[in-house]
Amino acid sequence: MAKLVAVIASTHHPFYYRASTTIGKDRPAFADEWVRKVEAFRETLTKARPDLLVMVGSDHFHQLWLDNMPQFLVGKAPFYDANFENEHREFGLPRMFMKGQEDLSAYVLRQGLDAGFDLAFSNEMRIDHSITCPIITLRPQNDLPIVPIYTNIFAPPLPRPYRFVQLGRLIRQLIESWPADKRVAVIGTGHLSLELGGPRQFGPHGPDPEFDQKAIKWIATGDIERCLDEVTLDSLHAPGNATHGFMDFMLMMGVAGEGQKANYVDTYDLFHTMEAYFTWYPTGIVK
Amino acid sequence: MSKYLLNKFLFTVDRDADLLERYRADPAEFVNYWEKTYANRILNCLESERSTWQKLDDKEREALVNRDYVALFGLGAHPFLTLTLFIGMFERDYPEPLSFQLEYAARLKHFNLPYPDIET
């Protein structure tokens, strides 16, 4: 059976690539510390020696559109091109190319459907920055095949938070029952409090630092129960109009498991949003 | 009122550098062109299989012609789409990083929670 060797939950900040690669007088003051934190976080994945990555993210109206919008979608393709022209324009993100782990995609789809999750699929998917950002931060050599899984945190009506947790639990079960001698890491990215296109955007901190502190505690301690008690589709409007991306963190808490304390926690308070990085080692701490 | 069609405008223009520049250069002419050419196009269907019923209302058309992101926010257009398209059009005119985005936030200051509903 496959081994789940690391579970990683992270914010995805599309400005990291540009901030970390800019040199000279245009390099932002916060870049060096940010790079240091990201490199330390990267080490938590490297140490787990994964053979492949299951990547959870959310399309930002790049390929998926309102005439045909899936709630949860699994990519099943041998390859994935990545990043879009408007992401290059706004964030300077480069075009990328990734291999797919198509047999695990097929397994997740078949077994997921049979377990009661009506997952949509795509045989030709162009990946956006919700998945390329963590490749850039955590695996910049981009040498591992992936299974991309998209969630809808973006275009209401959205699934409720508990469905994200349930999907996370299912993803874990499916990886652990996959009959392959492979080391699998799951990496999912979302947001803490975030406002985009609204009056609270691009402030000196995230729009709701109090929510951020609570959210970090829920994630770091694996407190799914309290998180589900407090977080609803309605409540997520209050911390910022793009905070529904927090549900991808809830999905990752589902993968990690109830009460599972993260083995690695780090945060970085940036303008606009709080960065947050978490790693769990389900099969024990990796030395 | 169709938030969907407003979003379709923002989506199709934001992803296409040529359309974005045409909207920047002459918004009235462009919105007219877009409504005739794109409003009824189903993006994953052939041109001959267009819809027959999509139409902007006067308020929506006016907000797009005036490139009025405050009005678009009030109409429930998706804020991410509006933001990225307008950054693409206007950030270049501002000398300091983030100054366009901060002006954008300030112009929306009179909106309190709950914000206009964006569900389509």
**pLDDT tens digits, one per residue of A221-240:** 999 999 999 999 999 999 99
Residues in B lying within 8 Å of A, measured between beta carbons: 4, 7-8, 11, 14-15, 17, 42-44, 69, 73, 78-84, 87-88, 98, 101-102, 104-106, 108-111, 113-115, 118-120
Query: What residue of A is the nearest CA neighbor of B7?
Result: A66
**CB-CB: which of A65, A86, A197 is closest to B88?**
A86
Using a CB-CB cut-off of 8 Å, the residues of chain A touching B108 are: 198-199
| CA–CA separation, A55 and A150 (whole Å) | 8
**Shortest distance, CA A195 to any CA of chain B (angstroms):** 9
pLDDT, residue A88, reads: 96
Query: What residue of B is the nearest CA neighbor of A59?
Result: B80
Using a CB-CB cut-off of 8 Å, the residues of chain B touching A90 are: 84, 87-88
pTM more than 0.95 = yes
Are β-strands A183-190 and A52-57 bridged in parallel, bridged antiparallel, or unpaired? Answer: parallel
Question: What tokens does A154 get?
Answer: 């973006």
Share of chain A above pLDDT 90, in %: 98
- B80, A197 Cβ separation under 8 angstroms: yes
Listed by start position, the domains of chain B span 3-107
Q: What are phi and psi of A269, to 5 degrees?
A: -80, 105
Question: What tokens does A13 get?
Answer: 């900040």
* CA-based end-to-end distance of chain B: 11
Using a CB-CB cut-off of 8 Å, the residues of chain A touching B114 are: 237
Does B75 score more than 80 pLDDT? yes
| CA–CA separation, B1 and A268 (whole Å) | 42
Residues whose CB falls within 8 Å of the CB of residue A148, separated by 6 or more in sequence, listed in order:
A55, A57, A74, A75, A80, A100, A125, A127, A131
Contact B104 A60 (CB under 8 A): no
The domain defined by A3-280 folds into Protocatechuate 4,5-dioxygenase; Chain B (3.40.830)
Cα-Cα-Cα-Cα dihedral sign, residues A140, A141, A142, A145: negative
Query: What residue of A is the nearest CA neighbor of B83?
Result: A197
**Shortest distance, CA A73 to any CA of chain B (angstroms):** 18
Query: What residue of B is the nearest CA neighbor of A26?
Result: B97
| CA–CA separation, A29 and A275 (whole Å) | 16
**Shortest distance, CA B73 to any CA of chain A (angstroms):** 8
Q: With 0-12 CB in 10 A as exposed, 13-18 as middle and 19+ as buried, what is A69?
A: middle
pLDDT in 10s for each residue of chain A, 287 residues: 999 999 999 999 999 999 999 999 999 999 999 999 999 999 999 999 999 999 999 999 999 999 999 999 999 999 999 999 999 999 999 999 999 999 999 999 999 999 999 999 999 999 999 999 999 999 999 999 999 999 999 999 999 999 999 999 999 999 999 999 999 999 999 999 999 999 999 999 999 999 999 999 999 999 999 999 999 999 999 999 999 999 999 999 999 999 999 999 999 999 899 999 999 999 988 76
Maximal C-alpha separation, chain A: 56
Q: With 0-12 CB in 10 A as exposed, 13-18 as middle and 19+ as buried, what is A89?
A: middle
